[in-house]
Amino acid sequence: MAEPRRDVVITGIGIVSSLGEGLDAHWRKLEEARPGADSQTYAPCVVHPIVAIDFDKQIPKKGDQRQMEPWQRIGTYAAGLALENAGIKGNAELTSRMDMIVAAGGGERDATVDGAILTGMRSAPSKEDFINERLMSDLRPTLFLAQLSNLLAGNISIVHGVTGSSRTFMGEESSGFDAVRIALQRIQAGQSDITLVGGAHNGERKDMLMLYGAGGYTLKGGYSPVWDRAAQGGGFALGSLGAFLVLESREHAAARGATPIARLAAVLAESARRQDGQITAALDGMWERLAAANKIDEAHAAIISGASGAEPATAEERAFLGHHKALPVRATGSHIGHGPEPQFAMNIALAALALKHGRLFAPVPDPSGMEQPMNGALTQVVVTGVGHWRGEGLALVETAN
């Protein structure tokens, strides 16, 4: 006999992006509907740069900060905000048994070293020997650790003392869906009481603009909202952002007197093979499973979409959204850009934030008409995620009670 599944609530949120840091700053900017995009610095690509952060506030030792590349600093900072928001920062008894799942990319390059090697190898007698010589003398030994995917989790253990368990999922958007999904399932089943889950992404990276550019996925030629990029051939604007959630069983939260921000009811993930129409079918299938297990009150529900603008993913997600026209939609990619790994956790955080306010934030001025104002109370949010290349995810977030 399977034991009844435990209720899971969100008791802490730590978010940082181009809009600011923390819940209040995000709410203000979302209401103002003024996306923070930069079309100049990385032209023709568009990015959403991270706001100025005083990293000392969450990573007090400069020595620790020096051991991290920006994506790790953003993540370690956001994790600290989440622990603080949950009221457990520095509570060693709790953090030492707290579980952790991080969705991570990695591999930030030293652009100067790479450029010098690519320049020099053109005239080197032996390219391989030249690469060896340059890397042996020019690579910082600790750069490797700043690149390793699992070292965001490692840094969170070191800086914030989260050591119950530590797992790092990789794989762009999918890693974000699965990190939250596994964290939820483990708490529901009693395999964990409290878990820190999330991720971080640095969008201001030329090596990533190169990789995603090679696939034809980056937005070029200036900013536009994600629903209105057809004329530009679609594409995403990479976003620098970090998002961590503290998930907890309802009993565990109650026992320590924590106030839930929202309830995480369900998370589903799929891997459609991506022939025509399969993304829409995967999302429809997950919606069916979600609706079968949870009553969705259409009058008080909305959709926070992880649509990135990448095609054909965004067009197929639109077809899916067309099956649920009663629900107002907001795409956060228009505001904060696309951070493949942390976007899903971020959107669950923003869903919880809207539920906390009891209403949905304003639509982005959008000629496509995809985003409509919502009047009235908000009690449920469905969060979508569609990987630019592979992976589909869906979550249901509800008011805490």
Partner 1 sequence: MAAPRDSQGRPIVVVTGMGIVTSLGAGKADNWARLISGTSGIRAIKRFSTEGLKTKVAGTVDFVPCDPPAAAELAERLAELAAEEAIAESGLGSRGNFPGPLFLAVAPIELEWPQREALAQAAGANAGVTYDDLIRSANTGKFRNIHERFVFGSVGHHLADKFGTQGSPISLSTACASGASAIQLGLEGIRRGEIDAALCVGTDGSVNAESLIRFSLLSALSTQNEPASEASKPFSKNRDGFVMAEGAGALVLESYEHATARGAKILGVLEGCGELADSFHRTRSSPDGKPVIGCMRKALADAGITPDDVDYINAHGTSTPENDKMEAMSTAAVFGERMKTLPISSNKSMIGHTLSAAGAVEAVVTVMTLDHQRIPPTINYKVPDPTIQLDVVPNVARDAKMRHAISNSFGFGGQNVSLVFAREPA
- 204 to 243, contacts with partner 1 by CB under 8 A? 206-207, 209-218, 220
| Comparison of 370 and 394: residue with beta carbon closer to partner 1 | 394
CA dihedral 275, 277, 278, 282 (to 10 degrees): 170
Distance of closest approach, residue 259 Cβ to partner 1, in angstroms: 28
- x/- contact string, 90-119, with partner 1 (CB under 8 A)? ----------x---xxxx-x-x--xxxxxx
Torsional class of 258: left (φ above 0), alpha (ψ -120 to 50), beta (otherwise): beta
Q: Are 301 and 195 in contact (CB under 8 A)?
A: no
Sole window of 7-15, 127-135, 290-298, 331-339 interacting with partner 1 (rule: CB under 8 A): 127-135
349-386 per-residue burial string, b: 16 or more CB within 10 A, e: under 16: bbbbbbbbeebbbebbebeeebbeebeeebebbbbbbb
Sole window of 122-130, 236-244, 330-338, 363-371 interacting with partner 1 (rule: CB under 8 A): 122-130
What string of DSSP letters covers 20-60?
A: EESHHHHHHHHHHT----BSSTTTTB-EEPPPP--GGGT--
Distance of closest approach, residue 201 Cβ to partner 1, in angstroms: 12
Distance of closest approach, residue 92 Cβ to partner 1, in angstroms: 10
Written as six digits, the tokens of 47 are 């990015």
Distance of closest approach, residue 374 Cβ to partner 1, in angstroms: 30
- x/- contact string, 351-370, with partner 1 (CB under 8 A)? --------------------
Distance of closest approach, residue 74 Cβ to partner 1, in angstroms: 17
Written as six digits, the tokens of 16 are 């940082």
Provide the β-strand partners of residue 385: 393
| Comparison of 104 and 360: residue with beta carbon closer to partner 1 | 104
Side chain identity at 166, as an amino acid letter?
Answer: S
Distance of closest approach, residue 349 Cβ to partner 1, in angstroms: 21
Residue ranges in 40-79 that form contacts with partner 1 under rule CB under 8 A? 44-45, 67
Residue ranges in 142-181 that form contacts with partner 1 under rule CB under 8 A? 143-145, 147-151, 153-155, 157-158, 161-172, 174-175, 177-178, 181
How many other CB atoms are there within 10 angstroms of residue 230's CB atom? 13
| Comparison of 59 and 364: residue with beta carbon closer to partner 1 | 59
Distance of closest approach, residue 150 Cβ to partner 1, in angstroms: 5
Residue from 242, 230, 215, 231 nearest 388 by CA: 215
Residue ranges in 294-323 that form contacts with partner 1 under rule CB under 8 A? none
Residue ranges in 253-282 that form contacts with partner 1 under rule CB under 8 A? 269-271, 273
C-alpha span between 94 and 164 (Å, rounded): 9
Q: Are 164 and 96 in contact (CB under 8 A)?
A: yes
Distance of closest approach, residue 271 Cβ to partner 1, in angstroms: 5
Q: Are 162 and 100 in contact (CB under 8 A)?
A: yes
Sole window of 184-192, 299-307, 310-318, 370-378 interacting with partner 1 (rule: CB under 8 A): 184-192
Residues 6+ apart with CB under 8 A from 2: none
Residue ranges in 187-206 that form contacts with partner 1 under rule CB under 8 A? 189, 191, 206
| Comparison of 189 and 291: residue with beta carbon closer to partner 1 | 189
- Decide if residue 128 touches partner 1 (CB under 8 A): yes
